[in-house]
Structure 1
Amino acid sequence: MDIRDVPEAHVDRALELVYLVFHDNPGEEKRKHHRELVLGCERIGAYDGDTLVGFLAAHRFRLSVPGGDLPCPGLTFVSVAPTHRRRGVLSAMIAELFRRGTRHGRPLAALWASEDAIYGRFGFGPATEGLTVEIDSRRPLALRLPPDERPLRLIDPADAPAAVGPYFDATRAARAGRIARDAERWTGEWLVDEDEEDDELSPPRIVALGAEGEPLAGYAVYRTKSGGDDPARPGLVRVDELEADDAAGAAALWRYLCSLDLTGTVRAWGRPVDDPLLLFAADRDQVRVTGRYPGLWVRLVDVPAALTGRAWAAPVDLVLAVEDEHLPANTGRFRLTADPASRACAPTGDAPDLSFAVRDLAACYLGGTEVGALVRAGLVTEHTEGAAARLDAALRTALAPGTGDEF
């Protein structure tokens, strides 16, 4: 196989391969949207002669990490022709992406896994988790605290980059695992009129907390769907994003979403595992968690650069032994010396305190998976008593990592 860039002239061929692999036959508008999306990505292809038999695209993302923000390609449209499976095509394309990451100073990569079993073997680990929350809104939302009573107002989605973009940026910095959005991503991907998964949903709506001219105190992005004439099938409010300064602000937004006329169910996908709604809801029969699942899968392409690219919550001085069959430079022992004010990581010959497969170190990297839990699961080896607890204390973040920004 010849692994090389996919030129613009071959993008339609690449998308036809994607549709073949994912058994899809999208309409003209969706094809146009996919083409524009892929043109903005880094594109790697596998060619058998002149035939494109493998393809992956990588968004040029930046990812929030504890105390910082790092370049992080986001893999998507990963496809291998059914005639060329089990011939190393996927491995070769991902290896090329990793080589480019090392060369260009991109210490991370990330994806949403279509099949979990595939990507662990390439060193990706599930670094965030998400919840699906469903609210019975046929009656007022029962709350244990008074909601913020500042006025609510609707914002035109076309104004979102300027109106709520800076607020999103601030909340993104506070929670690891979130992808930066420029104006094009806001309007071209996040707030498109027709939802890609359900064309019965309304265009996106944005409700903001705070009077015009005052600082924003929170916002929610949502879509609605009529229940029709069947009274047993209430209308739906699908919440795509909700951010607020505090619990009272979040309560005001949830109360609004649960009070929309002609609806009876509020469903939110991709909520963080520490969503305060689950604590301030007065009736957990009304507010139910209906799903919990791995979210963003992260790969450490350069272990020392990744570890020094994030902040640490407590002093730590440990030797980590890392095994990485795909990137030999990551295999070895690294002394991590860090505290809230500084961080360093360098190869060492000293005896290890902990031994990791690179996928398990990636799962812990954003603070979403406890090292101690992996030790108890037999996936990480603790050579020095208490080392896992010390590393967990240093990895800890005020907010659980999470994102609902699928790609």
Structure 2
Amino acid sequence: MVDIRDVPEADIDRALELAYLVFHDRPEKEGRDRHHALLVACDRIGAYDGDVLVGFMAAHDFRLSVPGADPRCPGLTFVCVAPTHRRRGVLTGMMSEMLRRATAAGSPLAALWASEAAIYGRFGFGGATTGVTIEIDSTRPLALRIDPDRRPLQLVDPADAPAVIGPYHEAARRVRAGRPTRSAERWREEWLAEQDEEDDELSPPRIITLGDPDEPIAGYVLYRTKPAGEGGSARAHTGLVRVDELEADTPAVAAALWECLAALDLTHKVCAWGRPVDDPLLHFAADRDQVRVTAQYPALWLRLIDVGAALTARSWAAPVDVVLEVHDVRLPANAGRFRLRAGPDGATYEHADAAADLALDVRELAACYLGGTRVGDLVAAGLVREHAPGAAAALDAALRTPVLPHTADEF
């Protein structure tokens, strides 16, 4: 009999050993220490077979930017089940306990990054944001269709970065939905760690800001570099600039930062792994053979724990009045027929006896919640049933956001 219960701080190292086993990982001491420090601050759920830890799940205490709001949203991480206990309901038990705790805490949402996309839909999670990887051939100057901002660029000491760029990141987080809060500890242990967790050949983090002296910064980029490898070796490669984050007030500021990155000496490629689909670079780059999208993937997965609270918390771009028939096998309180009346002045969500205009599973509603997935596309895919013509288009217009939701905060 597997028992689902809290994982005490004394068992964090056991939990990490289980995670490393499941994810086929073996971090060095610095990485292990970083993981341990992060998990100390997390809510931790374990599955115990007697005294043996056979499943583990942790949750960061985040808030998530949604249109017009910033609700509590636990960020699930280190979700794993021992290979000896797969297909025995361990993950279901831990997920049920997480949903129970989030409901009790009044969190309308939960989020995660999925290591395997096929797993989490059955628990009501939907892919709510999409990321792209952009590569720039920097063997020649970056060709641009707009003039870059020529205000000064400045290198920032990583030790000073949270104070210099942290407030800017917080302001940018509220403009684009889908971004979790970033504590000082996450800045230090994740974004600004001396050694990159995935590639020990990468440099320590580098930060460049743009703006006039004694004025607030107008943008920044956080990146790491890798020197060129020796020809013919197993690790032969050209010099690389890996962009972890780039934020800018205007397209001209972004152009200046991208231009700077592409001009770094002894490098030949810029790779930005986590960029939004609507990144302005893809429009103001003059040569799309030089600037290419090399991958596109689901990023943040979202779960609506309290559908009514989630829908009434966010802002709405246009009026909509629809009856939704929502299916949710994990949280029955969400299931049923509800009338959503929403618009720029707010929203109400109440039980309804009228016929449904749209019928959908809670995972599809989660995918559309931030405005990153169109309801109409899910109707076309056969995943949402439209009983009233025009209902999907009306809901899409109300859910629309000025920029697409996006985050590079992988956790």
- TM-score, length of structure 1 as denominator length: 0.98
- Corresponding residue of 1:263: 267
Q: What per-residue deviation string (whole Å, max 9, x for no partner) do you get for residues 283-302 of structure 1? A: 00000000000000000011
Q: Within 2, Cα distance between the matches of 1:158 and 1:62? A: 25
1:21 aligned to 2:22? yes
Shift of 1:384: 0.7
1:367 aligned to 2:371? yes
- What's the secondary structure of 1:132's corresponding residue? strand
- Runs (4+) of structure 1 exceeding 6 A deviation are none
Amino acid at match of 2:298: P
- Corresponding residue of 2:356: 352
1:336 aligned to 2:346? no
- Out of 362, 373, 379, the residue aligned to residue 383 of structure 2 is 379
Mean Cα deviation higher: 309-318 or 25-34: 25-34
Q: Within 2, Cα distance between the matches of 1:105 and 1:182? A: 21
Shift of 1:203: 0.4
Shift of 1:229: 4.6
Q: Percent identity?
A: 69
Q: Within 1, Cα distance between the matches of 2:201 and 2:213? A: 31
Shift of 1:99: 0.6
Q: Within 2, Cα distance between the matches of 1:341 and 1:161? A: 36
1:321 aligned to 2:322? no
Q: How does 1:3-82 map to 2 (within 5 A)?
A: 3-82=4-83
Q: Within 2, Cα distance between the matches of 1:269 and 1:322? A: 35
1:129–1:402 CA contact under 8 A, matched in 2: yes
1:294 aligned to 2:298? yes
2:38–2:186 CA contact under 8 A, matched in 1: no
1:234 aligned to 2:235? no
Q: Within 1, Cα distance between the matches of 2:333 and 2:201? A: 50
Q: Within 1, Cα distance between the matches of 2:348 and 2:122? A: 28
Q: What per-residue deviation string (whole Å, max 9, x for no partner) do you get for residues 179-237 of structure 1? A: 11122211122110100000000000000011231121110000001004549842100
Equivalent residue pairs, number? 407
- Corresponding residue of 2:154: 153
**Structure 2 residues without counterparts, runs of 5 or longer:** none
1:153–1:211 CA contact under 8 A, matched in 2: no
Note closer, same or farther for the CA distance 1:233–1:79 as it changes in structure 2 (3 Å cut). closer
Shift of 1:158: 1.1
Q: Within 2, Cα distance between the matches of 1:233 and 1:57? A: 37
- What's the secondary structure of 2:398's corresponding residue? helix
2:195–2:204 CA contact under 8 A, matched in 1: yes
2:262–2:270 CA contact under 8 A, matched in 1: yes
Mean Cα deviation higher: 323-332 or 334-343: 334-343
Q: Within 1, Cα distance between the matches of 2:409 and 2:250? A: 21
Q: Within 2, Cα distance between the matches of 1:199 and 1:124? A: 33
- What's the secondary structure of 2:194's corresponding residue? coil
Q: Within 1, Cα distance between the matches of 2:105 and 2:230? A: 57
1:246 aligned to 2:250? yes
Q: Within 2, Cα distance between the matches of 1:228 and 1:380? A: 50
Q: How does 1:121-140 map to 2 (within 5 A)?
A: 121-140=122-141
RMSD: 1.1
Q: Within 2, Cα distance between the matches of 1:189 and 1:358? A: 32
